Amino acid sequence: MPIRSLIIFAITVAFPVGILVMPAYAQDPAVVNSKTIRVRFENDRVCVLEAILPPGTKEQVHSHPAYVIYVLAGGRYRNYVADGKITEGTFQTGEVIYRDPLTHAAENIGDKPMHLILVEHRLPFTSHFVVAVCSAKEA
C-alpha cells in the first residue's frame, strides 16, 4: 500500500508541480511566443528569429543563448528578467545590440509595432571565425 500511495502522490502532485516549476531557460522563444516570433533560419551554429511585437503585447517568459538584435523598427520596451528585475528602454531603428544569455519576457510599451531580427549563437565561435568577420568589416 505505501508504494501505491507514493506512486499516486507522484502522479497527482509531484509531477505536475515539477512541470510548473520547470526552468524557464528551457522555453524556446518561437514556441512560447508563436504569435509574435518565428524562425527565419536555423542550423547548428545560429538561429535567426523575426519578432514583431504590436503595441501593448507582452511575451511569455523564454530564454536566449548569447544573441544579437538588429532593430528594423524600434520602440519602447519593458523587460522582465527571470531574477525579478524590471527595466525599461528604447530600441532605435537600425540599432544593433549584443546580449548575453537571458531568460526574460519583453513588453512593447510604445504606440507602434517593434520589428526585430535576433541571431542566437548556438555554438561558441572560434577565434578564427571572429578574425574573419573583423577582417571582412575592415575591407
110-132 burial, b at 16+ Cβ within 10 Å, e below that, comes to beeebbbebbbbeeeeeeeeeee
Q: Please give the average per-residue pLDDT across 111-132, as a whole number.
A: 78
pTM: 0.72
For residue 9, the model assigns a pLDDT of 41
For residue 6, the model assigns a pLDDT of 37
Contact 116, 92 (CB under 8 A): no
pLDDT level of residue 128 (50, 70, 90 thresholds)? low
CA 22 to chain centre: 16
Angle, vertex CA 31, rays to CA 44 and CA 23, nearest 5: 85
Percentage helix, strand, coil, to 5, in the chain? 25, 40, 30
Task: Give 7-53 pLDDT, tens digit per residue.
Answer: 444 344 433 333 333 443 458 999 999 999 999 999 999 999 999 99
Task: Give 57-116 pLDDT, tens digit per residue.
Answer: 999 999 999 999 999 999 999 999 989 999 999 999 999 999 999 999 999 999 999 999
- pLDDT of 139 > 50? The answer is no
Rg (CA), the chain: 19
